[in-house]
Amino acid sequence: MGPRRGRPPPPHLDLDRPHPISSGRGDLLLVARARLLLASLSPRPLPKMTDPVSYDLIVIGAGQGGGPLAGAVAEAGHDVALLERRHVGGTCVNRGCTPTKTMIASARVAHLARRAGDYGVETGDVSVDLETVRQRKRDIVGMFRSGSRSSIEEKDTLDLIEGDGRFVDPNTVEVTLNGDANDGGPRALTADRIVINTGTRPAIPPIDGLDAVDFLTSTSIMELGAVPGHLLILGGGYIGLEFGQMFRRFGAEVTIIDRGEHVLGREDADVAGALEDILREDGIRLLNETSMTAVEEAGGTITAHLEGDDAPARITGDELLVAAGRRPNTDALNPGAAGVATTEQGYVQVDARLATTADGIYAIGDVTGGPAFTHVSYDDYRVLQDHWLHGGDRTTEDRLIAYTLFTDPQLGRVGLTEEQARSRGLDVTVAQMPMTRVARALEVDETRGLMKAVIDSTTNRLLGAAVLGIEGGEVMSVLQTAMMGDLPVGRLRAAPFAHPTLAESLNNLFAGLDLGPAAERRADG
pLDDT of 259 reads 96
State the pLDDT confidence band at 514, using cuts at 50, 70 and 90.
Answer: confident
According to the annotation, is 235 in a ligand binding site? yes
What is the CB neighbour count within 10 angstroms for residue 511?
A: 13
**Which pLDDT belongs to residue 48?**
55
Does position 96 have pLDDT exceeding 90, yes or no? yes
Is 237 within any annotated ligand binding site? yes
Beta-carbon contacts of residue 219 (< 8 Å; ≥ 6 apart): 95, 202
Instruction: From 400, 404, 265, select the one nearest 325 (Cα to Cα).
Output: 265
pLDDT of residue 473: 98
% of residues, the chain, pLDDT over 70: 88
325 is in an annotated binding site: yes
What value does the mean pLDDT take over residues 515-520?
49
> C-alpha distances in angstroms, 62 versus 32, 68, 145, 196, 325?
21, 8, 11, 10, 22
- For 243-266, the DSSP string reads HHHHHHHHT-EEEEE-SSSSSSTT
101 among annotated binding-site residues? yes
CA angle 497, 501, 504 (to 5 degrees): 40
Q: For residue 398, what pLDDT is reported? A: 87
165 is in an annotated binding site: yes
d(CA 275, CA 262) in angstroms, rounded, equals 10
Nearest to 437 by CA among 447, 446, 445, 428: 447
* pLDDT of res. 4: 38
> Each residue of 178-230: pLDDT tens digit?
876 666 678 999 999 999 999 999 999 999 999 999 999 999 999 999 999 99
User: Is 262 among the catalytic positions?
Assistant: no
Q: Is 242 annotated as a binding residue?
A: yes
Which whole number is the average pLDDT over 408-432? 97
Q: CATH 3.30.390.30 region(s) of the chain?
A: 402-510
- pLDDT at residue 35, as a whole number: 35
Query: Of 23 and 162, which is predicted with more confidence?
Result: 162
Query: Which of 12, 87, 387, 499 is an active site residue?
Result: 499
pLDDT at 161: 94
Average per-residue pLDDT in the chain? 89
Contact (Cβ atoms closer than 8 angstroms) between residue 320 and residue 229: no
Q: What is the pLDDT of residue 513?
A: 86
Phi, psi of 408 (to 5 degrees): -125, 110
CATH dotted code for 210-324: 3.50.50.60
Contact (CB, 8 A) for 163 and 178: yes
Over residues 305-342, the pLDDT tens digits come to: 999 998 999 999 999 999 999 999 999 999 999 999 99
Query: How buried is 523 (Cβ within 10 angstroms: 0-12 exposed, 13-18 middle, 19+ buried)?
Result: middle
Distances (CA, A) of 387 to 11, 18, 48, 134, 390: 17, 8, 33, 41, 6
- Predicted local distance difference test score (pLDDT) of residue 14: 54
308 is in an annotated binding site: no
366 annotated to bind ligand = yes
pTM beyond 0.75, yes or no = yes
Q: Exposure of 209 by Cβ count < 10 A (0-12 exposed, 13-18 middle, 19+ buried)?
A: middle
Residue 470 counted as an annotated binding residue = no
Angle between helical axes of 130-153 and 97-114 (0-180°, round to 10)? 150
- Annotated binding residue 241: yes
- Please tell me the class of the 402-510 domain: alpha beta
- Collapsed DSSP state (helix, strand, coil) of residue 288: coil
| Span(s) in the chain for CATH 3.50.50.60 | 47-201+326-399, 210-324
Report the CATH fold assignment for 47-201+326-399: FAD/NAD(P)-binding domain (3.50.50)
pLDDT tens digits along 406-416 = 999 999 999 99
Q: If you ran DSSP here, which 8-state letter would residue 342 be given?
A: B
- Residue pLDDT, tens place only, 245-276: 999 999 999 999 999 999 999 999 999 999 99
| 389: DSSP letter | H
